[in-house]
């Protein structure tokens, strides 16, 4: 046979992907792809899509299998060697609880969401990229469950992560965030999760959890974090490609995309305020403050990104300045909420000790000593007097982000922020202008919110007493909830330390 | 200060003497299913009850008549959707490891065929037929990939939806493997693939199949789609192509084609174990399920078999109908074993 010119990598990849698809004729394309147009996005030419990574399925299997072999070898050895004994402090485990109950179910949601996008987008390039991301996200959900499974054997607060995610008041914050994205159209989903979450905000979720794990001796979590990194970089590339592609396709897409950028920045930011609290309060060995992380990963990195996107007419997300200003307050306000409601949370709380308060003063010179130190000192005095402060009233929730309305007015940290909107004769409440704007943009959607406190008052959550509700959450009262220092977790840890001290003193002799 | 070696010693003593006893063996939702607290496998922990079931916040803009995850998206009814177990017990890691092994064998076969110039043994007539029957199948696989993604998206419960996205990956992998065969047939270029796509779009003997594939794209009930694709279309196409067509190919120097498509035969056996388990379990649960599944099966079987006759006649000429009949017989026997009335 005559030698023919071999194909370049790009041509080869194109043949193996784009070449697979065809224009249907026995069924109309708008029936085959019924969700392609209802969001108002206009695509003139799917062939203009640039595949951000040219990964064929055989390479995918090979890379991923290799990573999985290594990861599970570490997990097995962590379990066999009781790796939990190497933690910096048992308080650290509470971040793992927050992660498994709040974040891992979102990985699963992302998996199903990318399967949806991977079926519904008419372009073959983005469809394949979305399907691979769907596989990746299932990987993340499963590896996280498998990693944390070992912690579940020794620590409380993890054993009902699935049941709780669908019910518990603060878990409705991450759950409603992802339900919101999943119930959007395929293009909005790609901007919400692919761009806003995976590109703009992801470092504010993963760096804190994974570095936090590394600083605090959690080898298992660090390993899955590292192992997920190459997946994440593919996801980021897809996210940026999607937004550029939509903006290049038609000028009419700009206002739609801008609205989504504004909305999903704010939705994502509100979920991340839980991470802010985790960084500033829950990590026994801290990596950096929330404020510092925001400066690096949003103000600087996000600033550069939005400068780059300016040529398409995109401006930075609305209320980004408000989120930046709130850095001085959100972590403290969130931790205060959880401290007051420790009886209703499936992780433990505590008051920062004096060394930790000094760290907070140093990191938050504008706000901590003035507004939050006095509060913690007062609560410490109450604790010392045997009168630990619990808030027994149920909080009002923001209809959009579903966080208790404990945030203060921009520029006025002593006044609680309240916003309201009226829709079909009912009044809805919001914690911020950002949340109110989102509601006002789609009141039909957000008026459906399953607000945990409303549901409790309507009798849909196991009963009228807080205790009934907590039982309905499948919470082990006195074990999953309340302060760290009175927890079975702490007791068990102290027992391990006593045994280890005894063994080392024998060994030393 | 103690040396590193001494410290290691003390840690190992530490571990041996410490009383580190688990307080529980698995998660609550799994222990409730077991009826006791005992260790669960990674398949079980990564799959059971992982999908959210309650208190969805908003109705999908793209299907406001349903909840985000909704059992009513199919006419099949099950008391517990987690009965639909995967006999391969795949979770992400074991899935990828399995497919990597299969692909390594395929790569080895590709090298073997190339090194020995085995494709040159094909008679020119059969080579033309291979191009026309085998290469367009990458579009059938791509259609199956879309359907698997649809089942993952619309299905209920991780037990069935997780293997569905694995199947989407498989079908894409098969479409790409066929593409590689096409490139190899044409000395590393894409011309054969372009011609094959043309056949897919215009050749008479492909239009019936293309119509059936396009019809699956608009099926609304995801379980019907599961039957149409994973039992019927795959269940007819694979035996017909990779057994009957391949057997005929042996008479025309086609050993290379058998080697290059070995992956598909191995995959079909593996895939059928899953498809069978899902359908059998659903049929067993109630007569209503059984009747529904049987009706879907019969309708798609008749349509798909009819569509394959012109293709089979093109490839096998006078033997074409007999090969389709044989594939039908195999499929009917399989469906009967799953409890369907055929």
Contact list, A102 vs chain B (CB under 8 Å) = none
Q: Tell me the two tokens of residue B278.
A: 């899902």
* Class of residue B263 by CB neighbours under 10 A (exposed 0-12, middle 13-18, buried 19+): buried
Cβ-defined contact of A131 to B168 (cutoff 8 Å): yes
pLDDT band at B3 (very low <50, low <70, confident <90, very high): very low
Cβ-defined contact of A4 to B189 (cutoff 8 Å): yes
Contact list, A146 vs chain B (CB under 8 Å) = 42, 45-46
Cβ-defined contact of A507 to B161 (cutoff 8 Å): no
Contact list, A492 vs chain B (CB under 8 Å) = 23
pLDDT band at B2 (very low <50, low <70, confident <90, very high): very low
> All domains of chain B, ordered by start, with CATH?
98-337 (1.10.620.20)
* pLDDT tens by residue, B204-256: 999 999 999 999 999 999 999 999 999 999 999 999 999 999 999 999 999 99
Test the B interface: residue of A119, A176, A503 with most B CBs within 10 Å = A119
Nearest C-alpha in A relative to B195: A19
Q: Which helix (H) or strand (E) holds B285?
A: helix B262-285
Torsion, Cα of A308, A310, A315, A316 (10° steps):
10
Query: Quick one: three-class SS letters along A360-426?
Result: HHHHCCCCHHHHHHHHHHHHHHHHHCCCCCCCCCCCCECCCCCCECCCEECCEEEEECCEEEEECCE
One DSSP character per residue, A38-91 reads TT----S-GGGPPPSS---HHHHHHHHHHHHHHHHHHHHHHHHTTGGGG-S-GG
Test the A interface: residue of B7, B38, B53, B152 with most A CBs within 10 Å = B152
A334 in Cβ contact with A273 (< 8 Å): yes
Cβ-defined contact of A166 to B54 (cutoff 8 Å): yes
Nearest to B179 among A15, A34, A161 (CB): A15
pLDDT of residue B17: 63
**Residue contacts between A and B (CB atoms, under 8 Å):** 272
Handedness of CA B315, B321, B323, B327 (dihedral sign): positive
* pLDDT tens by residue, B13-66: 555 567 789 999 999 999 999 999 999 999 999 999 999 999 999 999 999 999
Interface membership of B41 toward A (CB under 8 Å): no
Nearest to B50 among A162, A175, A455 (CB): A162
B141 in Cβ contact with B172 (< 8 Å): yes
Mean of all residue pLDDT scores within chain B: 95
pLDDT band at B104 (very low <50, low <70, confident <90, very high): very high
Cβ-defined contact of A166 to B60 (cutoff 8 Å): no
- Average the pLDDT over each of A73-77, A199-203, B273-277, B301-305 and give the range with the smallest value: A199-203
pLDDT band at B188 (very low <50, low <70, confident <90, very high): confident
Nearest to A7 among B149, B165, B188 (CB): B188
Closest CA–CA distance from residue B310 to any residue of chain A (Å): 18
Q: Tell me the two tokens of residue B146.
A: 């879309």
Rg from Cα positions in chain B:
24
Test the A interface: residue of B21, B61, B180, B187 with most A CBs within 10 Å = B61
Cβ-defined contact of A179 to B9 (cutoff 8 Å): no
Closest CA–CA distance from residue B123 to any residue of chain A (Å): 14
Closest CA–CA distance from residue B336 to any residue of chain A (Å): 31
Residues 147-186 of B with CB under 8 A from A: 149-150, 152-153, 158, 161-162, 164-166, 168-169, 172-173, 175-177, 179-180, 183, 186
**Distance between CA atoms of residues B271 and A458, nearest Å:** 48
pLDDT of residue A5: 64
**Distance between CA atoms of residues B170 and B174, nearest Å:** 6
Contact list, B100 vs chain A (CB under 8 Å) = 61-62, 65-66
Closest CA–CA distance from residue A371 to any residue of chain B (Å): 35
Residues 307-326 of B with CB under 8 A from A: none
DSSP A19: G
**Distance between CA atoms of residues A110 and A268, nearest Å:** 14
Residue A68 has, within 13 A of its CA and on its CB side, a CA count of 24
Cβ-defined contact of A185 to B61 (cutoff 8 Å): yes
**Distance between CA atoms of residues A426 and A484, nearest Å:** 41
Contact list, B51 vs chain A (CB under 8 Å) = 108, 112
Find residue A404's DSSP bridge partners: A397
Cβ-defined contact of A61 to B100 (cutoff 8 Å): yes
Phi, psi of A412 (to 5 degrees): -140, 80
Interface membership of B294 toward A (CB under 8 Å): no
Angle at A319 between CA A314 and CA A322, to 5 degrees: 145
Closest CA–CA distance from residue A501 to any residue of chain B (Å): 9
One DSSP character per residue, B3-42 reads -HHHHHHHHHHHHHHS----S-SS-HHHHHHHTS-----H
**Sequence-separated contacts (24+) of A350-359 with Cβ below 8 Å:** A350/A91, A350/A483, A350/A484, A350/A485, A351/A376, A351/A379, A351/A380, A351/A383, A352/A281, A352/A376, A356/A281, A359/A286
Phi, psi of A223 (to 5 degrees): -65, -45
Q: Which helix (H) or strand (E) holds B311?
A: helix B287-316
**Distance between CA atoms of residues B133 and B221, nearest Å:** 30
Nearest to B100 among A65, A120, A142 (CB): A65
Q: Tell me the two tokens of residue B158.
A: 């991780």
pLDDT of chain A, 509 residues: tens digit per residue: 444 567 788 888 988 998 999 999 999 999 999 999 999 999 999 999 988 788 999 999 999 999 999 999 999 999 999 999 999 999 999 999 999 999 999 999 999 999 999 999 999 999 999 999 999 999 999 999 999 999 999 999 999 999 999 999 999 999 999 999 999 999 999 999 999 999 999 899 988 999 999 999 999 999 999 999 989 999 999 999 999 999 999 999 999 999 999 999 999 999 999 999 999 999 999 999 999 999 999 999 999 999 999 999 999 999 999 999 999 999 999 999 999 999 999 999 999 999 999 999 999 999 999 999 999 999 999 999 999 999 999 999 999 999 999 999 999 999 999 999 999 999 999 999 999 999 999 999 999 999 999 999 999 999 989 999 999 999 999 999 999 999 999 999 999 999 988 887 776 66
Find residue B74's DSSP bridge partners: none
Rg from Cα positions in chain A:
24
Q: Which helix (H) or strand (E) holds B239?
A: helix B234-239
Phi, psi of A426 (to 5 degrees): -105, 150
Nearest to B139 among A20, A175, A176 (CB): A20
Name the percent of chain A in helix, strand, coil, to the closest 5. 65, 5, 30
**Distance between CA atoms of residues B256 and B267, nearest Å:** 18
Nearest to A26 among B68, B153, B211 (CB): B211
> All domains of chain A, ordered by start, with CATH?
18-508 (1.10.620.20)
**Distance between CA atoms of residues B26 and A146, nearest Å:** 10
Residues 114-153 of B with CB under 8 A from A: 120, 138-139, 141-142, 145-146, 149-150, 152-153
Cβ-defined contact of B26 to A152 (cutoff 8 Å): yes
Q: Name the region of A345 (left: φ>0; alpha: ψ -120 to 50; beta: rest).
A: beta
pLDDT of residue A50: 87
Nearest to B84 by CA among B283, B217, B309: B283
Nearest to B187 among A3, A31, A160 (CB): A3
Which distant-in-sequence residues (6+ apart) come within 8 Å of B207 by Cβ?
none
DSSP B219: -
Which residue in this structure is represented by tokens 């008052």? A457
Nearest C-alpha in B relative to A505: B10
Cβ-defined contact of A496 to B20 (cutoff 8 Å): yes
């Amino acid at each position: 046979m005559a030698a023919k010119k071999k194909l370049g990598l790009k041509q080869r990849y194109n043949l193996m992907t784009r070449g697979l698809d065809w224009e249907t004729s026995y069924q109309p394309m708008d029936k085959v792809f019924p969700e392609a147009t209802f969001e108002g996005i206009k695509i003139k030419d799917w062939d203009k899509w640039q595949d951000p990574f040219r990964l064929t399925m055989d390479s995918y299997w090979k890379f991923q299998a290799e990573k999985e072999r290594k990861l599970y070898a570490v997990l097995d050895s962590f379990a066999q060697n009781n790796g939990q004994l190497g933690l910096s402090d048992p308080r650290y485990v509470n971040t793992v609880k927050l992660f498994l109950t709040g974040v891992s179910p979102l990985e699963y949601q992302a998996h199903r969401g990318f399967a949806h996008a991977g079926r519904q987008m008419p372009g073959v390039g983005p469809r394949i990229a979305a399907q691979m991301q769907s596989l990746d996200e299932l990987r993340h959900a499963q590896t996280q469950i498998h990693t944390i499974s070992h912690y579940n054997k020794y620590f409380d607060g993890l054993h009902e992560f699935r049941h709780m995610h669908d019910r518990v008041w603060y878990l409705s914050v991450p759950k409603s965030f992802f339900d919101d994205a999943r119930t959007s159209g395929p293009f909005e989903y790609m901007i919400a999760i692919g761009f806003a979450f995976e590109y703009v905000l992801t470092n504010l979720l993963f760096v804190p959890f994974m570095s936090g794990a590394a600083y605090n001796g959690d080898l298992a979590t660090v390993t899955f974090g590292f192992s997920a990194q190459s997946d994440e970089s593919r996801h980021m590339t897809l996210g940026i490609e999607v937004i550029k592609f939509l903006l290049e396709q038609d000028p009419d897409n700009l206002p739609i995309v801008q609205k989504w950028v504004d909305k999903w920045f704010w939705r994502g930011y509100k979920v991340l305020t839980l991470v802010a609290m985790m960084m500033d309060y829950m990590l026994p060995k801290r990596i950096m403050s929330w404020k510092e992380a925001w400066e690096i990963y949003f103000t600087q990195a996000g600033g550069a990104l939005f400068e780059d996107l300016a040529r398409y007419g995109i401006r930075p997300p609305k209320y980004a300045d408000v989120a930046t200003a709130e850095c001085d307050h959100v972590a403290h306000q969130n931790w205060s909420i959880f401290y007051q409601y420790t009886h209703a949370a499936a992780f433990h709380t505590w008051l920062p000790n004096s060394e930790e308060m000094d760290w907070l003063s140093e990191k938050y010179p504008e706000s901590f000593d003035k507004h939050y130190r006095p509060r913690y000192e007062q609560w410490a005095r109450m604790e010392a007097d045997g009168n630990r402060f619990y808030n027994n009233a149920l909080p009002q929730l923001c209809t959009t982000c579903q966080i208790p309305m404990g945030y203060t007015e921009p520029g006025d940290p002593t006044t609680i922020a309240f916003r309201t909107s009226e829709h079909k004769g009912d009044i809805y409440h919001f914690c911020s202008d950002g949340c109110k704007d989102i509601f006002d943009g789609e009141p039909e959607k957000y008026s459906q919110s399953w607000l945990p406190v409303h549901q409790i008052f309507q009798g849909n959550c196991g009963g009228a007493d807080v205790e009934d509700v907590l039982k309905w959450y499948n919470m082990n009262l006195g074990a999953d909830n309340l302060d760290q220092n009175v927890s079975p977790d702490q007791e068990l840890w102290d027992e391990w330390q006593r045994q280890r001290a005894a063994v080392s003193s024998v060994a030393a002799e | 200060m103690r040396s590193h070696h001494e410290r290691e010693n003390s840690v190992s003593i530490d571990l041996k003497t410490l009383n580190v006893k688990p307080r529980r063996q698995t998660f609550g939702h799994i222990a409730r299913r077991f009826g006791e607290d005992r260790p669960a496998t990674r398949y079980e922990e990564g799959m059971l009850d992982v999908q959210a079931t309650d208190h969805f916040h908003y109705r999908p803009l793209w299907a406001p008549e349903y909840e985000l995850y909704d059992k009513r998206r199919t006419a099949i009814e099950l008391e517990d959707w987690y009965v639909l177990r995967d006999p391969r017990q795949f979770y992400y890691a074991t899935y990828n490891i399995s497919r990597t092994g299969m692909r390594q064998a395929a790569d080895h076969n590709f090298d073997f065929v190339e090194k020995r110039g085995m494709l040159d043994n094909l008679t020119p007539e059969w080579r033309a037929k291979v191009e026309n029957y085998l290469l367009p199948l990458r579009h059938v696989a791509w259609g199956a990939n879309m359907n698997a993604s649809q089942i993952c998206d619309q299905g209920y419960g991780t037990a069935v939806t997780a293997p569905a996205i694995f199947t989407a990956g498989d079908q894409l992998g098969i479409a790409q493997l066929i593409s590689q065969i096409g490139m190899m047939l044409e000395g590393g270029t894409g011309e054969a693939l372009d011609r094959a796509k043309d056949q897919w779009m215009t050749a008479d003997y492909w239009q019936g199949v293309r119509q059936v594939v396009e019809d699956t794209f608009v099926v609304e009930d995801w379980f019907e789609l599961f039957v149409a694709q994973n039992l019927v279309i795959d269940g007819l196409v694979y035996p017909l192509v990779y057994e009957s067509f391949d057997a005929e190919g042996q008479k025309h120097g086609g050993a290379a084609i058998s080697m290059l498509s070995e992956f598909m035969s191995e995959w079909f056996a593996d895939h059928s174990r899953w498809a069978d388990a899902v359908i059998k379990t659903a049929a067993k649960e109630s007569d209503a399920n059984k009747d529904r599944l049987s009706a879907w099966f019969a309708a798609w079987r008749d349509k798909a078999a009819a569509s394959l006759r012109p293709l089979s006649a093109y490839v096998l000429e006078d033997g074409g109908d007999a090969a389709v009949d044989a594939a039908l017989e195999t499929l009917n026997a399989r469906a009967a074993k799953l409890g369907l009335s055929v």
